[in-house]
DNA sequence: ATAGTTACATACTTTGGGGTAAGTACTTGT
DNA sequence: ACAAGTACTTACCCCAAAGTATGTAACTAT
Protein backbone atom coordinates (compact mmCIF):
# COMPACT_ATOMS: atom_id res chain seq x y z
CA UNK A 1 0.00 0.00 0.00
CA UNK A 2 2.38 2.66 -1.30
CA UNK A 3 5.50 2.72 0.83
CA UNK A 4 6.40 6.13 2.22
CA UNK A 5 9.82 7.73 2.09
CA UNK A 6 10.27 8.71 5.72
CA UNK A 7 12.99 11.28 5.18
CA UNK A 8 11.38 13.67 2.71
CA UNK A 9 10.68 17.27 3.68
CA UNK A 10 7.15 16.80 2.49
CA UNK A 11 6.53 13.87 4.74
CA UNK A 12 8.31 15.53 7.64
CA UNK A 13 6.15 18.64 7.36
CA UNK A 14 3.07 16.49 7.16
CA UNK A 15 3.98 14.77 10.41
CA UNK A 16 4.68 18.09 12.07
CA UNK A 17 1.40 19.62 10.86
CA UNK A 18 -0.56 16.54 11.91
CA UNK A 19 0.80 16.53 15.44
CA UNK A 20 0.77 20.29 15.98
CA UNK A 21 -2.46 21.13 14.14
CA UNK A 22 -5.49 19.11 15.21
CA UNK A 23 -7.40 20.17 12.10
CA UNK A 24 -4.72 18.70 9.86
CA UNK A 25 -4.78 15.61 12.06
CA UNK A 26 -8.47 15.20 11.28
CA UNK A 27 -7.96 15.80 7.59
CA UNK A 28 -5.31 13.13 7.41
CA UNK A 29 -7.99 10.76 8.67
CA UNK A 30 -10.93 11.81 6.53
CA UNK A 31 -9.03 13.33 3.59
CA UNK A 32 -8.77 11.68 0.20
CA UNK A 33 -11.42 11.79 -2.49
CA UNK A 34 -13.48 8.93 -1.18
CA UNK A 35 -13.21 8.71 2.59
CA UNK A 36 -16.01 11.15 3.41
CA UNK A 37 -18.26 9.40 0.93
CA UNK A 38 -17.50 5.99 2.43
CA UNK A 39 -18.14 7.31 5.92
CA UNK A 40 -21.40 8.83 4.74
CA UNK A 41 -22.62 5.53 3.35
CA UNK A 42 -21.66 3.76 6.58
CA UNK A 43 -23.45 6.35 8.69
CA UNK A 44 -26.75 4.82 7.60
CA UNK A 45 -25.72 1.49 9.10
CA UNK A 46 -23.17 -1.18 8.30
CA UNK A 47 -22.69 -2.26 4.70
CA UNK A 48 -21.10 -5.14 2.86
CA UNK A 49 -18.07 -4.54 0.70
CA UNK A 50 -20.09 -5.18 -2.44
CA UNK A 51 -22.86 -2.87 -1.27
CA UNK A 52 -20.37 -0.04 -0.86
CA UNK A 53 -18.96 -0.80 -4.28
CA UNK A 54 -22.39 -0.53 -5.84
CA UNK A 55 -23.28 2.55 -3.80
CA UNK A 56 -20.16 4.38 -5.08
CA UNK A 57 -19.95 3.32 -8.72
CA UNK A 58 -17.05 5.62 -9.74
CA UNK A 59 -14.66 4.25 -7.13
CA UNK A 60 -12.27 1.51 -8.18
CA UNK A 61 -11.90 -1.57 -6.02
CA UNK A 62 -8.31 -0.67 -5.29
CA UNK A 63 -9.29 2.73 -3.90
CA UNK A 64 -12.18 1.26 -1.97
CA UNK A 65 -10.22 -1.35 0.01
CA UNK A 66 -7.24 0.98 0.32
CA UNK A 67 -9.36 3.60 2.03
CA UNK A 68 -11.27 1.02 4.04
CA UNK A 69 -7.93 -0.30 5.35
CA UNK A 70 -6.77 3.17 6.28
CA UNK A 71 -10.05 3.86 8.02
CA UNK A 72 -9.61 0.62 9.95
CA UNK A 73 -6.05 1.56 10.92
CA UNK A 74 -7.38 4.89 12.14
CA UNK A 75 -10.05 3.02 14.10
CA UNK A 76 -12.92 4.80 12.38
CA UNK A 77 -14.33 1.73 10.68
CA UNK A 78 -14.75 -1.86 11.83
CA UNK A 79 -14.41 -4.86 9.56
CA UNK A 80 -16.40 -7.97 10.36
CA UNK A 81 -15.85 -11.09 8.28
CA UNK A 82 -17.95 -14.22 8.49
CA UNK A 83 -15.89 -17.29 7.68
CA UNK A 84 -18.16 -18.55 4.94
CA UNK A 85 -17.78 -18.84 1.24
CA UNK A 86 -18.41 -16.77 -0.78
CA UNK A 87 -17.05 -14.28 1.77
CA UNK A 88 -19.42 -12.07 3.74
CA UNK A 89 -17.63 -8.98 4.99
CA UNK A 90 -19.39 -6.03 6.58
CA UNK A 91 -18.02 -2.63 7.44
CA UNK A 92 -19.41 -0.38 10.15
CA UNK A 93 -18.47 2.73 12.07
CA UNK A 94 -16.53 2.40 15.32
CA UNK A 95 -17.46 4.64 18.27
CA UNK A 96 -14.72 7.05 17.17
CA UNK A 97 -16.12 6.99 13.65
CA UNK A 98 -19.59 7.68 14.96
CA UNK A 99 -18.33 10.59 17.06
CA UNK A 100 -17.04 12.10 13.83
CA UNK A 101 -20.55 12.43 12.44
CA UNK A 102 -21.35 15.84 13.99
CA UNK A 103 -18.08 17.18 12.61
CA UNK A 104 -18.88 15.90 9.13
CA UNK A 105 -22.36 17.37 9.46
CA UNK A 106 -21.00 20.77 10.45
CA UNK A 107 -18.72 20.66 7.42
CA UNK A 108 -21.54 19.60 5.13
CA UNK A 109 -23.81 22.38 6.37
CA UNK A 110 -21.15 25.02 5.80
CA UNK A 111 -20.38 23.53 2.40
CA UNK A 112 -23.99 23.46 1.27
CA UNK A 113 -24.52 26.99 2.50
CA UNK A 114 -21.39 28.21 0.73
CA UNK A 115 -22.36 26.47 -2.51
CA UNK A 116 -25.76 28.10 -2.26
CA UNK A 117 -24.33 31.58 -1.72
CA UNK A 118 -21.98 31.36 -4.68
CA UNK A 119 -24.71 30.39 -7.15
CA UNK B 1 0.82 27.89 -9.84
CA UNK B 2 0.99 24.35 -11.20
CA UNK B 3 -1.28 24.07 -14.21
CA UNK B 4 -3.95 21.41 -13.95
CA UNK B 5 -4.70 18.87 -16.63
CA UNK B 6 -8.44 19.32 -16.99
CA UNK B 7 -9.09 15.98 -18.68
CA UNK B 8 -7.55 13.58 -16.19
CA UNK B 9 -9.65 10.99 -14.41
CA UNK B 10 -8.17 12.18 -11.16
CA UNK B 11 -9.23 15.76 -11.69
CA UNK B 12 -12.62 14.70 -13.00
CA UNK B 13 -13.32 12.57 -9.94
CA UNK B 14 -12.23 15.42 -7.74
CA UNK B 15 -14.71 17.74 -9.42
CA UNK B 16 -17.47 15.17 -9.10
CA UNK B 17 -16.73 14.55 -5.44
CA UNK B 18 -16.55 18.26 -4.73
CA UNK B 19 -19.90 19.01 -6.29
CA UNK B 20 -21.72 15.93 -5.00
CA UNK B 21 -20.13 15.70 -1.54
CA UNK B 22 -20.27 18.89 0.51
CA UNK B 23 -17.61 17.55 2.88
CA UNK B 24 -15.15 17.13 0.02
CA UNK B 25 -16.16 20.60 -1.15
CA UNK B 26 -15.06 21.97 2.21
CA UNK B 27 -11.83 19.99 2.21
CA UNK B 28 -10.89 21.34 -1.19
CA UNK B 29 -11.10 24.78 0.40
CA UNK B 30 -9.30 24.15 3.66
CA UNK B 31 -7.15 21.17 2.64
CA UNK B 32 -3.44 21.39 2.08
CA UNK B 33 -0.76 21.31 4.75
CA UNK B 34 -0.87 24.99 5.58
CA UNK B 35 -4.37 26.35 4.98
CA UNK B 36 -5.80 25.49 8.39
CA UNK B 37 -2.74 26.98 10.05
CA UNK B 38 -3.03 30.18 8.02
CA UNK B 39 -6.74 30.44 8.84
CA UNK B 40 -5.93 29.87 12.50
CA UNK B 41 -3.45 32.72 12.56
CA UNK B 42 -5.93 35.00 10.82
CA UNK B 43 -8.68 34.11 13.27
CA UNK B 44 -6.94 36.28 15.86
CA UNK B 45 -7.29 39.31 13.60
CA UNK B 46 -5.77 40.44 10.33
CA UNK B 47 -2.08 40.02 9.75
CA UNK B 48 0.54 41.33 7.36
CA UNK B 49 2.19 39.00 4.92
CA UNK B 50 5.48 39.24 6.80
CA UNK B 51 3.74 38.60 10.11
CA UNK B 52 2.26 35.40 8.76
CA UNK B 53 5.65 34.41 7.43
CA UNK B 54 7.23 34.89 10.82
CA UNK B 55 4.34 33.20 12.61
CA UNK B 56 4.73 30.06 10.47
CA UNK B 57 8.49 29.70 10.12
CA UNK B 58 8.52 26.33 8.33
CA UNK B 59 6.36 27.51 5.44
CA UNK B 60 8.12 28.69 2.30
CA UNK B 61 7.12 31.96 0.71
CA UNK B 62 5.92 30.13 -2.36
CA UNK B 63 3.51 27.98 -0.35
CA UNK B 64 2.36 30.95 1.71
CA UNK B 65 1.28 33.16 -1.21
CA UNK B 66 0.04 30.16 -3.16
CA UNK B 67 -2.34 29.22 -0.37
CA UNK B 68 -3.24 32.84 0.33
CA UNK B 69 -4.21 33.21 -3.33
CA UNK B 70 -6.34 30.09 -3.24
CA UNK B 71 -8.01 31.27 -0.06
CA UNK B 72 -8.75 34.58 -1.78
CA UNK B 73 -10.17 32.81 -4.80
CA UNK B 74 -12.38 30.79 -2.47
CA UNK B 75 -13.42 34.03 -0.77
CA UNK B 76 -12.24 32.94 2.65
CA UNK B 77 -9.52 35.54 2.98
CA UNK B 78 -9.38 39.20 2.01
CA UNK B 79 -6.23 40.92 0.78
CA UNK B 80 -5.84 44.63 1.45
CA UNK B 81 -2.86 46.44 -0.05
CA UNK B 82 -1.92 50.00 0.76
CA UNK B 83 -0.25 51.69 -2.20
CA UNK B 84 2.90 52.68 -0.36
CA UNK B 85 6.45 51.49 -0.56
CA UNK B 86 7.69 49.29 0.97
CA UNK B 87 4.40 47.43 0.42
CA UNK B 88 1.94 47.05 3.26
CA UNK B 89 -0.40 44.12 2.62
CA UNK B 90 -2.76 42.73 5.20
CA UNK B 91 -4.80 39.57 5.08
CA UNK B 92 -8.00 39.03 7.01
CA UNK B 93 -10.92 36.61 7.11
CA UNK B 94 -13.97 37.30 4.97
CA UNK B 95 -17.44 36.68 6.43
CA UNK B 96 -17.40 33.24 4.81
CA UNK B 97 -13.99 32.57 6.33
CA UNK B 98 -15.22 33.66 9.73
CA UNK B 99 -18.25 31.39 9.45
CA UNK B 100 -15.83 28.52 8.97
CA UNK B 101 -14.41 28.98 12.45
CA UNK B 102 -16.96 26.84 14.31
CA UNK B 103 -16.35 24.05 11.80
CA UNK B 104 -12.61 24.22 12.31
CA UNK B 105 -13.19 24.27 16.07
CA UNK B 106 -15.38 21.17 15.90
CA UNK B 107 -12.67 19.43 13.91
CA UNK B 108 -9.98 20.52 16.35
CA UNK B 109 -11.97 19.31 19.33
CA UNK B 110 -12.52 15.89 17.80
CA UNK B 111 -8.86 15.74 16.79
CA UNK B 112 -7.56 16.64 20.22
CA UNK B 113 -9.92 14.16 21.85
CA UNK B 114 -8.89 11.42 19.45
CA UNK B 115 -5.18 12.12 19.96
CA UNK B 116 -5.79 11.96 23.71
CA UNK B 117 -7.59 8.63 23.53
CA UNK B 118 -4.90 6.99 21.44
CA UNK B 119 -2.08 7.92 23.84
C1' DA C 1 -16.46 -28.65 -16.66
C1' DT C 2 -16.98 -24.08 -16.49
C1' DA C 3 -18.99 -19.80 -15.45
C1' DG C 4 -20.19 -16.74 -11.66
C1' DT C 5 -19.73 -14.52 -7.07
C1' DT C 6 -17.19 -12.29 -3.26
C1' DA C 7 -13.50 -9.85 -1.35
C1' DC C 8 -9.65 -8.77 -2.13
C1' DA C 9 -4.09 -8.29 -4.10
C1' DT C 10 -0.46 -6.50 -6.96
C1' DA C 11 2.37 -4.50 -10.66
C1' DC C 12 2.67 -0.44 -13.32
C1' DT C 13 1.80 4.44 -14.74
C1' DT C 14 0.27 9.21 -14.19
C1' DT C 15 -0.14 13.76 -12.02
C1' DG C 16 -0.81 17.43 -9.04
C1' DG C 17 0.66 19.13 -4.54
C1' DG C 18 4.54 20.41 -2.30
C1' DG C 19 9.64 21.74 -1.85
C1' DT C 20 14.18 24.18 -3.45
C1' DA C 21 16.40 27.92 -5.08
C1' DA C 22 16.89 31.98 -7.13
C1' DG C 23 15.33 36.46 -8.93
C1' DT C 24 12.39 41.00 -9.09
C1' DA C 25 10.73 46.10 -8.18
C1' DC C 26 10.84 49.88 -5.42
C1' DT C 27 12.38 52.57 -1.69
C1' DT C 28 14.87 53.86 2.76
C1' DG C 29 18.85 53.96 5.77
C1' DT C 30 24.15 54.37 6.14
C1' DA D 1 27.19 52.60 -3.57
C1' DC D 2 25.03 49.04 -1.49
C1' DA D 3 22.65 46.51 1.96
C1' DA D 4 18.15 45.63 3.77
C1' DG D 5 13.15 45.17 3.85
C1' DT D 6 8.60 44.01 1.68
C1' DA D 7 5.74 41.26 -1.07
C1' DC D 8 5.95 38.62 -4.22
C1' DT D 9 7.34 35.53 -9.02
C1' DT D 10 9.33 31.88 -11.68
C1' DA D 11 11.71 27.75 -13.16
C1' DC D 12 12.65 23.29 -11.85
C1' DC D 13 12.34 18.75 -9.35
C1' DC D 14 10.36 15.06 -6.32
C1' DC D 15 7.08 11.88 -4.71
C1' DA D 16 2.83 9.99 -2.73
C1' DA D 17 -1.88 9.70 -3.89
C1' DA D 18 -4.81 8.23 -7.36
C1' DG D 19 -5.88 5.51 -11.52
C1' DT D 20 -5.39 1.26 -14.94
C1' DA D 21 -5.33 -3.41 -15.56
C1' DT D 22 -5.12 -7.92 -14.36
C1' DG D 23 -4.96 -11.90 -11.21
C1' DT D 24 -6.38 -14.85 -7.11
C1' DA D 25 -8.82 -18.35 -3.72
C1' DA D 26 -12.66 -20.79 -2.47
C1' DC D 27 -16.95 -22.28 -3.20
C1' DT D 28 -21.78 -22.76 -5.74
C1' DA D 29 -24.99 -23.28 -9.38
C1' DT D 30 -25.92 -24.99 -14.04
Q: Is A24 on the interface with B (CB under 8 A)?
A: yes
Q: B93 phi and psi, to 5 degrees?
A: -80, 140
Nearest nt to the CA of B85 via C1' is C27
Mean pLDDT for B58-68 is 97
Considering only CB atoms, which chain B residues are within 8 Å of A115? Answer: 22, 25
Q: Does residue B108 lie within any of the structural domains?
A: yes
Q: Find out whether B97 and A90 touch, Cβ atoms under 8 Å.
A: no
A70 occurs within a structural domain: yes
Average pLDDT over residues A59-72: 97
A118 contacts on B by Cβ (under 8 Å): 75
User: For A48, what's the count of Cα atoms within 13 Å in the CB-facing half-sphere?
Assistant: 8
| Stretch B81-90: mean pLDDT | 92
How many domains does chain A fold into? Answer: 1
Residue A7 included in any domain: no
Is the peptide bond between B34 and the residue preceding it cis, with omega within 30 degrees of 0?
no
B26 domain-assigned: no
Tell me the CA–C1' distance in angstroms for A115 and C11: 40
The parent domain of residue A66 ranges over 31-117
Residue A68 within any structural domain of the chain: yes
Contact between A76 and A96 (Cβ < 8 Å): yes
Neighbour count for residue A44 (Cβ, 10 Å): 8
Q: Is residue A91 part of a domain?
A: yes
Residue from A19, A110, A108 nearest B21 by CA = A108
Query: Average pLDDT in the A22-26 region?
Result: 96
Distance CA B27, CA A94 (A): 22
Q: How many residues does chain A have?
A: 119
* Number of neighbouring beta carbons within 10 Å of residue B20: 11
CATH number of the domain bearing residue A55? 1.10.10.10
Structural domain contains residue A14: no
B107·A111 Cβ contact <8 A: no
**Could you tell me the pLDDT band of residue A41, with boundaries at 50, 70 and 90?**
very high
| pLDDT 10s digits, A87-99 | 999 999 999 999 9
Helices A35-43 and A101-117: crossing angle in degrees, nearest 10, is: 110
* DSSP strands (E only) in B1-119: 47-48, 77-82, 88-93
**A7: confidence class by pLDDT, cuts 50, 70, 90:** low
For A85-88, the CB contacts below 8 A with 24+ separation are A88/A48
Residue A111 belongs to some domain of the structure: yes
CA–CA separation, A93 and A47 (whole Å): 10
- Does the N-terminal peptide bond of residue A86 adopt cis geometry, omega within 30 degrees of 0? yes
Taking contacts as CB-CB distances below 8 angstroms, the residues of chain B near A40 are 21, 23
Å from the B86 CA to the D21 C1': 57
Amino acid sequence: MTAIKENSTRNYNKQVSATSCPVTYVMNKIGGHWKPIILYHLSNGSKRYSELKRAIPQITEKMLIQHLKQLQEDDLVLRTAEPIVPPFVTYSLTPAGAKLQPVLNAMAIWGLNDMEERR
